[in-house]
Amino acid sequence: MAEMPEALRTKLTAALRQGLAGEAEAFARQILDAGVDPLDVVQEVLVPTLTKVGERFQHFEIYLPELMMAGNAGQRVTALVEEATLAAGKASTSLGTAVLGQVKGDIHDIGRNIVRTLLSAHGFEVVDLGRDVAASAFLEVAQKEKADIVGLSALMTTALPAQRRTISLFNEVGRRADYKIIVGGGAVNQEWADEIGADGYAPDAASAVELCKGLIGV
């Protein structure tokens, strides 16, 4: 895989920061066309730039419209990354089924989309429930799809109680042992995962794949 050209890295970073979706998409496409690993676009540009945007929002240096514009630009880049990752080839045998979603109260979805893409590319069947997902919906779909993995994403600290509630519901109905439940997203860490009784925590999409493989023993 090729190194990311510096000039394009700088241009993509600036376009994302300013929320210029069309430009961000065009620069990301040029980077991918240059043979750069799509995951490098995520880890070297998308995550650090959006983290910086989030910090500026937190410190009142920018406001919600700018945050939304940067989010839209990020989504456009993520769509390209998904396209490029899946075009590189999907594993032909299925490793298992993962049901993913953003827990109740959380509407972020860029990071989860990347997790979904990498899990699919590595051979998991993924059912993505989207954002703001009720605990009961995770349970219902996990049962219906005979899932191996249930993945709960949360980017906001205010969404953490919903992660706990979701795991509690699986316990209450006596179905907890049927699934490996993993947690991730910016608001989560290993300590929290242990506290709520998750089977695992992954800090990023690539480690989510390794975690899921490990949990189902492949």
- By CB under 6 A, name the binding residues for ligand B1M: 42, 46-47, 50-51, 53-55, 57-58, 64, 67-68, 70-71, 74-75, 105-112, 114-115, 151-153, 155-158, 182-187, 202, 204-205, 208
Residue with Cβ nearer ligand B1M (8 or 99): 99
- C-beta of residue 124 within 8 angstroms of C-beta of residue 96: yes
How far is residue 38's CA from residue 88's CA, in Å, rounded to a whole number?
10
92's tokens: 């032909």
Residue with Cβ nearer ligand B1M (8 or 50): 50
Nearest alpha carbon to residue 76 among 32, 34, 126, 10: 32
Residue with Cβ nearer ligand B1M (115 or 139): 115
Residue with Cβ nearer ligand B1M (92 or 162): 162
Q: Alpha-carbon dihedral of residues 172, 130, 100, 175, nearest 10 degrees?
A: 20
CB of 105 to ligand B1M, least distance (A): 6
Which amino acid type is present at position 189? N
- C-beta of residue 66 within 8 angstroms of C-beta of residue 19: yes
CB of 211 to ligand B1M, least distance (A): 8
How far is residue 48's CA from residue 74's CA, in Å, rounded to a whole number?
11
CB of 192 to ligand B1M, least distance (A): 12
CB of 96 to ligand B1M, least distance (A): 14
Residue with Cβ nearer ligand B1M (92 or 109): 109
Longest dimension (CA), the chain: 55
CB of 157 to ligand B1M, least distance (A): 4
